[in-house]
Structure 1
């Protein structure tokens, strides 16, 4: 068992998230127990439960932290058009999903996939991203609510086709990108000017 040196709560939480991400990439998520995860992390089960009330909450924290790293992206105003910026963000997300395929599989096809603890933080992340896109496109007025719904639908579309590409390998990554951008134009592009220069915000 690793040396259980004294850590601040933030350091301990980060250590547990690192350990969880590693073990979820090695074993069957459904078979893993909190006791096994605690043993792998070198802590007691009670300590793990102190930070994370359930396995779903534990995975949700790992999944949310992974997405937070994606927020370090250029501002939309630094690109040529809104569509160019969205295409760049899409490429970043697809690289991320390719590098974390084991987490993608758990988040979408496991017993915790529909758990609000897992879904809501990421849904909130994408709602904020949609707001950034529509603000940059100067989308206001009556078209805004429709554009917001279109963006949420597009995110669902991207999730499905990306699983087909990255997990099931039924389509190629290049085909996935082409599908996602075509869907973007056909949905969000009907209500927001994706070819516009991004508006400052």
Structure 2
């Protein structure tokens, strides 16, 4: 049986093999720490030879950074698969999906955002900044607002700030226990909807009041 299992593993496609290694690394880094987990540990958990880790990821550091990236960057299919419905419904589904992912990968998520709290890892910080930029695109797409031009940079800045609040709120849920999942869902959904439907139009109105006053905020 063990021989058959090994044969089956050898037949995995490269992307499947890579995904297995990432899944194993996510579990181990979530359960321990970067320093306590070795590439040998990850190879054993993934059922692969250690050189395969170097082949796919270079070294432990690059693998760790890829785990962080995987945890914090919202993949395109999350938005692409949303139903053709209202902004409110699409954003509610999006927040629910994010909660599902974080709940399934609680320890790995906290490990991924842990460096942000102490600010000691510039490479992780760079990934978090990248995640905020990607999240801004995903939110605009989910909210059916990709065509927005007026005040776009300010809107993106506010959405990026929402991303920082989202990470802080996840600690309230997972670490402090001061919010349960449903309370967090209501808070996050309500906050992003208020930002898009109230705060953003108010910002535009302020810009218009300071300008020529001929334009109108988008409806």
How does the TM-score come out when normalised to structure 2? Answer: 0.68
**Structure 1 segment 81-120 matched on structure 2, within 5 A:** 82-110=87-115, 115=124, 118-119=127-128
- Consecutive unaligned residues of structure 2, counting only runs of 5 or more, are 203-218
Which runs of 4 or more aligned residues in structure 1 lie more than 6 Å from their structure 2 counterparts after TM superposition?
Answer: none
Matched, 1:177 2:185: yes
Q: Is the 8 A contact 1:86 1:133 kept in 2?
A: yes
Contact 1:70 1:93 in 2 (8 A): no
Change (3 A) 1:170 1:72: same
Q: CA deviation at 1:154?
A: 1.1
Residue 158 of structure 2 is matched in structure 1 by 150
1:167 is the counterpart of 2:172: no
Instruction: State the Cα deviation string for residues 48-71 of structure 1 (Å, max 9, x = none).
Output: 122112334324434555643634
Matched residue SS, 1:137: coil
Distance 1:140 1:10, change over 3 A: closer
Which residue of structure 2 lines up, in the alignment, with residue 191 of structure 1? 200
Q: 1:79: which partner in 2?
A: 85
Contact 2:173–2:179 (CA under 8 A) maintained in structure 1: yes
Preserved contact between residue 79 and residue 138 of structure 2 (Cα < 8 Å) = no
Instruction: State how many pairs are aligned.
Output: 190
Could you tell me how far apart the structure 2 residues matched to 1:113 and 1:33 are? 22
After TM superposition, give the deviation of residue 173 of structure 1 in Å.
2.1
| 1:27-106 matched pairs, under 5 angstroms | 27-62=32-67, 64-65=69-70, 67-68=74-75, 70-71=78-79, 73-75=81-83, 78-80=84-86, 82-106=87-111
Q: Over residues 84-113 of structure 1, what are the superposed CA-to-partner deviations in whole Å (9 max), with x where a residue is unaligned? A: 321221121112211210221111115769
SS at match of 2:10: coil
Q: Which range moved further: 105-114 or 145-154? A: 105-114
2:169–2:184 contact (8 Å) kept in structure 1: yes
Q: Is there any run of 5+ residues in structure 1 with no aligned partner, and where?
A: 194-198
**CA distance 1:12–1:88, change in 2 (3 Å):** closer
Structure (1/2) with the larger helix percentage = 2
Give the alignment's TM-score, normalised by structure 1. Answer: 0.74
Selected match of 1:129 from 138, 158, 181: 138
Contact in 2 for aligned 1:34/1:45 (Cα 8 Å)? yes
Rg comparison, structure with higher value? 2
RMSD: 3.3
